[in-house]
Structure 1
Amino acid sequence: MCSGGFAKCLGITLLPLAIICIICNIMLFFPGGEVLDNTNDITEEVFYFGGILGSGVLMIFPALVFLGMKNNDCCGCCGNESCGKRFAMFGSILFALAGAVGAGYSVIVSCVAINHGPKCFITDEQINATYPFGDGNYLSNRTLWDECKGPGDVITWHLTLFCILLVTGIVQIGLCAFQVINGLIGTICGDCCGCCSS
C-alpha cells in the first residue's frame, strides 16, 4: 500500500474517534445524565476539556491532513517528481506528533479523573457536591459507591465516559505513532505508488 493510502486509512479511523471523544466530554457535563443547576457540582476534570480539545479538536486536524494524503499531487518541486510527496509526508509527521500530544493530554486527564472519582451528593440534603473518593480507593471497593446519593448513577457515568476517553486516547496515540513511522518512510523513500501518473 502507498504511504499516502495508508495515511488516508489512518485519517478515516481517527476522525470518528475524535468525534466520539468530543461527545463523551460533552456528556460528562451532565453527571448521571442529569442537568445540574450549579456547575461547581460537576467534576473539575471535565472542564479541562481532554476529550473536546485534546482527543477532539487537536485530532481532527491530523485526521483531515491524513485523509488528503492519498490525493496529494504536489509534484515537480526542484525538478524532482517525488519531492512534493516527500514534503507532504514530512508535514504529516508534524501533524501526527501534534495529534499524539493532544491524545496524550486526554489520557492524562482521564487517568486523573478516574483516580480522583466524581463529585457527588453524600446526603439527600446536601447543597453542594463533594469528592467522597480522593485516592482511587473506590475502584477496588465497590461498597464505597453507596456513599454517593446522586446525581443519578454518577459513578458509573463518570467511569464509563472517562474510560472511553482513556482507551480512545491510547488508540489515537498508537495510530499517530504509526503515521510518524509511515511519514518517515514516505519522506525518505517517497510514495511507492509514485507521485505523478503522467
Structure 2
Amino acid sequence: MACSRTCSQVLGLSLGTTALFAAAANTVLLLPNWDVTYLLRGLIGRHAMLGSGLWGGGLMVLTAATRISLTGWRYGCFSKSGPCQSMLTALLSSGLAFLGALICFITSGVALKDGPFCMFDVSSFNQTQAWKHGYPFKDLQNRNYLYDHSLWNSVCLEPSKAVMWHVCFFSALLCISLLQILLVVIHFINSFLGLFCSLCEK
C-alpha cells in the first residue's frame, strides 16, 4: 500500500507538470512569433483557438493530477476513505485525465495534418494573383509539407516561420498528451494494485 501511495504521489506530480507544459505550448501557439496582433485580429488557426492544450491537456489533467496527489498523500478526508472509495476516486481522476489528454492528442494530430493557418499566395493554386489567410497545405496534392521542408518558407508569407512554429508546438502538444495518456494508464494499473493489496491486508 505504501508503494501504491508513493506511486500515486509521483504520478500526480508528473501529470501536473505535463499539464502546465501543455497549457504553455497552447498559449504560445496563440502568439505566433510572440506577436499578439495576430490574436487580436483573429488570424489564429482554429486548432490553436480550440485551446485543447489549455482546457484538455491542461486544466482537466491538472484537476485530475491534484486529486491523484491528494489521494496519494492521504490528506484530510482522504485519510479515512476505504479502499473502494479510493478506487472510485482513482477511476474518476484517471477518466478525467484520460479524456483531456485524448482530446489534446487528437486535436494536435489533426492540426499537424492540416498545417498552419497563414497568409499565402492563391495564384500558386488557381492562377489568380491574390493573397489570403487559410490553410494552404490542405490543398496540396501528392506532397506532404511535414516531409518536404522546401515548402516551409515558400508557401506561408505571414507570419514568418509560421510552419516551423506550428509544427514545433503542436508536435510538443502531441508528445505531451501521449505521455499523459501513458501516465494515466500507469495510474489506473497502480490503483487496481493498491485496491488489491488493501483487500489482502484486511
Give the TM-score band, short-chain normalised. 0.7 to 0.9
Q: Does 1:130 pair with 2:134?
A: yes
**What residue number does 1:139 align with?**
146
- Aligned residue for 1:38? 41
Partner AA of 1:71 in structure 2: W
Larger fraction in strand: 2
Matches within 5 A, 1:86-105: 86-105=84-103
Uncovered stretches (5+) of structure 2, i.e. residues with no partner: 122-128
What is aligned with 2:79? 74
Q: Which amino acid aligns with 1:91?
A: T
Q: What is the percentage of aligned positions where both structures have the same residue?
A: 27
TM-score (norm 2): 0.83
TM-score (norm 1): 0.84
1:152 shift after superposition: 2.2
> Residues of 1 paired with 2:29 and 2:193: CA distance?
40
1:119 and 1:86 mapped to 2: Cα distance?
48
The residue matched to 2:120 in structure 1 has which SS?
coil
Q: Deviations over 1:7-60 (max 9, x none)?
A: 010011111110111111111111233221421x21111122110111001101
Distance 1:126 1:59, change over 3 A: farther
Shift of 1:141: 1.3
Count of residue pairs the alignment pairs up: 185
SS state at 1:140 partner? coil
- Per the TM alignment, residue 191 of structure 1 is displaced from its structure 2 partner at its CA by 8.4
What residue number does 2:111 align with? 113
Is this contact kept in 2: 1:93–1:179, CA < 8 A?
no
Give a deviation string over 1:135-177, Cα, whole Å, max 9, x none.
6721121112211112121111111110110000000000000
2:187 equivalent to 1:179: yes
Alignment RMSD: 2.3
Structure 1 unaligned spans of 5+? 76-82
Quick one: which amino acid aligns to residue 189 of structure 2? I
* Residue 47 of structure 2 is aligned to residue 52 of structure 1: no
Deviations 1:110-144 (A, max 9, x none): 00000100011225x96642211006721121112
Q: Displaced runs of 4+ in structure 1, greater than 6 A?
A: none
Relative contact order (alpha carbons < 8 A, sep ≥ 6): 1 or 2 greater? 1
